[in-house]
Structure 1
C-alpha cells in the first residue's frame, strides 16, 4: 500500500521539507517540496508542522493538499501503466501548486530570460548580431514588470494564457491599478508581441492573439511636449551659472538644442566628432538607437564658439536631468505648463501644472531643435538630422499635423528662385491687325 511521509533532512534553524512517497518496501522516492520551516516548529511525532501559528497551520493545509493530490494521481496513473519515478513525484509537486521548472521556456517570463541570456548573439536588423544596451535594458525592465504582475495575480504566465481576456486584465492592471501612462502600457504590449513572435519561431506554441497585438498611445490631443524656444535659449545663454558643473550643463543644453540628437548621443560627443569648414562646424554622429550616420551643420555663432573653443566636459548621465532643471530654473524658465513629472514617492509620472523648468529633460533638446526649425527648413533636411524614418513620424514627434499649404508655399518659393536663375529670353509677339 502506498504511503506518504514528510521529514526534515537538516537540523539547522531553517530546513527544507521533504516528502517520502513509498509504493512498496523496495520502491520509494524522496523529493523536496520547496517548503521550508524553522526546525523548532516541526513535530517529529506527527511528521508535520506544529499547530502553533497561523503560518504553520497554513503549511499543514498545503502538505495535506499535496498528499491528496499524489494519492489521486497515483490511483489514476496506476491504471494507465505509468512508470513511477522521481520525475513523476516532481511533476506532482509542481502541478499541485501550479509551479513550473525554471528552464521551461513555455513559461513567458522564462523565455524573456532566455532572450536576455542570449542577447550577445541574437540576430537583429540589417544582419547584425547582439542586442543594443538600451534594448537589453528594456527586456530586463519588462521581465521585472511581468514578475510583479505574476506576484499580484499569484500565477505563472504561460504563452497559452496570453489571450484577449489576459491582455484586457493586464492593460487594466498597468493603467488603472499601477497608474502607468497610456504610452508606457502600449509599449509593454509591443514587448509581449515581440516575445511571442520570437517564441513562435523557436517552435513554442503561442496564441494567435498574442502575435497580432497592437501597441497604443495617448491621443495627440492629450500629448504634452516641452521645448525650449530660441528666446528661452537666449535666456539660458545670458544667465551666469554658480558652479562648474552647471556651467558645463548649460553648454550641453545650448549645443543639444542646435544639433537635435538624443540625450545619450549628445553626452557621448567629443571634439573628435567635429569637422571645421569655412561656414561653421560639421558634427558627425552615429546614432546609438538607429545606427544611422548623421552629419549636422552648425553655423550659430555662439554654438560654433562652444564647440571649437570651449567644448563641454563630461557630466554624470545619472544626474544630468536634475542639473538641466536647475540651469533652467536659474534662467527663469518658469512659465506654468501642463505636463507629466516623475514622482519619486509614487514611482510614477503624474500629470499636473508645473513650472516649465521642472519638466525640461535631455529628451527636450531634440524636440526643441525639431520644433524650432520646423517650417524654417525643409522637413526632409530635419528628419535626416533627427533620424526619423518618415515625415509622418517627425510630425507626430513635435505634435504637428501636415501643413499642405506650407508645402505648397515652399514649392513655390523654390520654383521662383529657380526661375530667377534662368536667363531672360526675348519673345516675339505677333502683330495684330486692328482694322
Structure 2
C-alpha cells in the first residue's frame, strides 16, 4: 500500500524546503520538493507537519494536507491504468495540484513569436474553402516587428514576459509605453497588442498555459474621424496627366500614378505588373494579376484611353516603392496639387508622424492610388464590382477604407433602379374596377 509523508532535510536555523516522499512498496521510493519552505523550529517531529502556531504555518499545513489527498487519489487512479509512477510523475502532480506552470522557453512570448517567424513558409493558414501553406510577407513582417518591440520592452523592464504574465496590468503598461514613450500611432500600437493576443490564443490551443485575461484583451483602433485619407480626384488626375513634366524619372512616376489610380491595386502589386499581364479579348484590354497579400486572382478591364496608351506604347520601367513615393510628390507639385490638406507626415527628428495641414502634394503616396480608384468610382459602379477589383472581402471594410459612411438609401435606390430596368419593356397592365352601384 502506498504511503505519503513529508519531512525536512536540514535543521539549519533558517527556512528550508519541505520534501514529500512517497513509498509505493517493494522498496520503490520517490521524493521531491513541494515548493513550500519552513523554519525547522516551526516543524513538528511527531506529526511531520508544520506546527499551527501562526497563520502562515496554518496555510502551509492545509496545503500539505491538500497535496497528500491529491496524491493518494492520483496514485490509485494511475496505478489502475498502468501509468508509470516516478519522479517525473510526482513533479507533474505537485504542479497540477497547485495549478503551477512550468516556465519553459516556449512559454516566453518572444520565443513563441520567433518560432512562428521561423516556420512562416510552412504554417497552415485558413483561407476561403480550406487551408494553404505560408504566411504572407506582410504578416511575417508584422510578427517580426512585434517580437522586436517586445524584446525592447523586456530590456527596459528587465523581465521576460511569459504567457501566464499577460494580465490586464501588464497589457495596460505595455500599451501605455507604446503610445506615450515610443509615441506610436494608435493603430500601430494596437497591431502589436493584437499580435500578442493572437499568439496567446494559439499557444493555449497547443497546451501552453496562458493567463485567462489574454482572450479579453481589447483592441483599440483609430476612429474614422482620425483617418485622413488622401485621394486624387478625376480633375486632379487630369491636371497630372496634362502637366509639363521634364524629368524622365518623374515622367515614369506619372505613368505609374495614372495606371495605379485606374486599376485599384496595392503599390507592390502595381509595380510587379509587366506587359505579360496584359491580354486582349474581343478587342478589349484586360490586366490579370495575383495579389500578393490575399493571393486572389484579379482581372481589371482597362478602358481609360490614356492608360491604354501608356500600357501599349510606353510601359513604365520598374522602380522601388520608396522611389515612387518620392517622385510622385514632385509630379503632383508640378501639377499644382497644392490645396492645404490635413494629414500626417513622418518627422525624421522625432521619428513619428506629425499631424497638421500640408500642401496636398506632400501627402500623396502609393497608398493614394488604390484609395483614389475606390473613391472616384464609388456609387458610379456597383460596390461589389469595385471590391472584386480592389480585393476587399467585406463591404464594411471597403467603406472604412475610403471613409464612406453607410448610405441607408443606397440599397433601396439600387433596387428601384434595377427593378425599373427589368420591367421597362413590359406593357402596363389594365386594371378592371368593378361598378358596385354605390358612390
SS of 2:151's partner is helix
What SS does structure 2 have at the residue aligned with 1:314? coil
Partner of 1:337: 341
- Cα 1:352–1:427 shift into 2, 3 Å: same
Structure 1 pair 285–212 and aligned structure 2 pair: CA distance change class (3 A): farther
- The answer as to 2:305 corresponding to 1:301 is yes
Which whole-Å CA distance do the structure 2 matches of 1:222 and 1:428 have between them? Answer: 57
Structure 2: unaligned runs, 5 residues or longer: 1-11, 21-30, 34-102
Q: 2:233 aligns with which of 205, 229, 249?
A: 229
Name the residue aligned to 1:173.
177
Q: Count matched residues.
A: 345
- C-alpha separation between the residues in 1 aligned to 2:302 and 2:418? 23
- In structure 2, relative to structure 1, the CA distance for the partners of 1:141 and 1:433 (3 Å cut) is closer
Following the alignment from structure 2 to structure 1, what is the Cα–Cα distance between the partners of residues 395 and 18? 68
Post-superposition, which runs of at least 4 consecutive aligned residues in structure 1 deviate over 3 A? 74-83, 277-280, 425-435
Superposed displacement of residue 241, structure 1: 2.4
TM-score of the two chains, using structure 2 as the length reference: 0.73
Gapped runs of 5+ residues in structure 1?
1-71, 84-101
Kept after mapping to 2: 8 A contact 1:124/1:131 = yes
Residues 167-187 of structure 1 show CA distances to partners (whole Å, capped at 9, x for unaligned) of 111111111221111111111
- Equivalent of 1:256, from 239, 255, 260? 260
Deviation at 1:394, TM superposition (A): 0.8
Q: Which residue of 1 aligns with 2:427?
A: 424
Task: Pick closer, same or farther for the CA change 1:209–1:431 going to 2, 3 Å.
Answer: closer
- Answer whether contact 1:337 1:353 (CA < 8 A) is retained: yes
Displacement of 1:320 in angstroms is: 2.1
When normalised by structure 1's length, the TM-score is 0.74
Q: CA contact under 8 A between 2:232 and 2:368: conserved in structure 1?
A: yes
**For 2:112 and 2:182, how far apart are their aligned partners in 1?**
24
Name the counterpart of 1:188: 192
1:123 — aligned with what? 124
Cα RMSD over matched residues? 2.7
Q: What secondary structure, in the 3-state scheme, does the structure 2 residue paired with 1:338 have?
A: strand
Distance in 2 (CA, whole Å) between partners of 1:313 and 1:192 is: 40
Tell me the equivalent position of 2:222: 218
Q: Which residue of 2 aligns with 1:46?
A: none
Give the whole-Å Cα distance in 2 for the aligned partners of 1:129 and 1:428.
64
Larger Rg: 2
User: 1:245–1:315: 8 Å Cα contact kept in structure 2?
Assistant: no
* 211 and 234 in structure 1: CA distance in 2 versus 1, 3 angstrom threshold: same
